[in-house]
Amino acid sequence: MALLEIITVPDHRLKKPSVAVEEVNDEIRQLADDMLETMYAAPGIGLAAVQVGVLKRVIVVDIAREEEDPDPLVLINPQIIWAGDELSEYEEGCLSVPEIYEKVERPSAIKLTYLDRDGNECEMECDGMLATCIQHEIDHTNGIVFIDYLTRLKRDRIVKKFIKAKKQSQVA
């Protein structure tokens, strides 16, 4: 397994939609394993392939707390087929927007289809933090970053902060 570089805003790849995985093979399983290792090392609770520069519809999630055993999920070509009417608000963060946390409102329960790491078609219903995390990561596969849900003013301030930091790191 390998640690992958996580790209951050304003990298243009984060705004591109990812393509569906045609075949779940060893390359995709290796990508998922590397993504999990990268996510745990960051540390984070979710990661989409686009965040490591791979424009494929692969996400990994693990919302287990530190005192719990890891419970990783690998979701390939995830697609939400139902979202509940009730909304919940969580303070979200993102490995591609480090150290920024903002409240985002999303459906509190969802049902999705996906392929598992063996290529089996699966269906899952979830709610709470898991539903929020999966929606956040699926957004990434559609070229949406959580700051896109913020007001334009807030979003622009955050992006400008990252552009400034990147310029300063290049000068140093």
Active-site residue numbers? 137
Within 13 A of 52's CA, how many CA atoms are on the CB side? 23
The answer to whether residues 64 and 73 touch, using CB atoms and an 8 Å cutoff, is no
Which ranges of 46-151 does DSSP label H, i.e. alpha helix? 128-141
Report the sign of the C-alpha dihedral through residues 6, 72, 139, 123, in that order. positive
Q: Which helix (H) or strand (E) is 162 found in, with range? A: helix 152-171
Residue 133: both structure tokens together:
């995390």
